[in-house]
Amino acid sequence: MAQLIITGSLRGLTNGISEFNIQARNVHQLVRELKQICPSLAPLIESDGFAVAIDGEIHQDILFAPISEDSEVHIIPPIGGG
C-alpha cells in the first residue's frame, strides 16, 4: 500500500496521526479515500494553494496523477511569501 505522510501543522487535522496507508491509485481516488478516513484533509487537496507530492514530484491541480502501490504521498500547504 502507498503511504500518505502528514507533516507539520496538518497533523492537527489528523489527531496527531502522521501516516496513513492508502489504496488510491491517483489523486482523485485519494480525495475520495480521505473523505472516509480523515474528512478534514480531503478539502485541502481540492482547494487552491495545496499541492500533492508523489514520490518527490510535486503536482498541483492534477487529480489523475498516478499513485503506485509503493508511493510516498505528501500534502503540501501553500507557502506564503512577500
Q: How far are the Cα atoms of 8, 56, 62, 68, 82 from residue 38, in angstroms, in the given order?
A: 16, 23, 21, 20, 32
Going from the first residue of the chain to its last (82 residues), give the mean pLDDT of each consecutive group of 10, the final group possibly shorter.
Answer: 92 92 93 92 81 88 87 88 64
> What's the pTM value of the predicted model, to 2 decimals?
0.85
The predicted pLDDT at position 53 comes to 93
**Count of positions (residues) in the chain:** 82
Domains identified in the chain and CATH numbers: 2-76 (3.10.20.30)
Q: How far are the Cα atoms of 2, 21, 80 from residue 30, in angstroms, in the given order?
A: 10, 11, 25
The predicted pLDDT at position 56 comes to 94
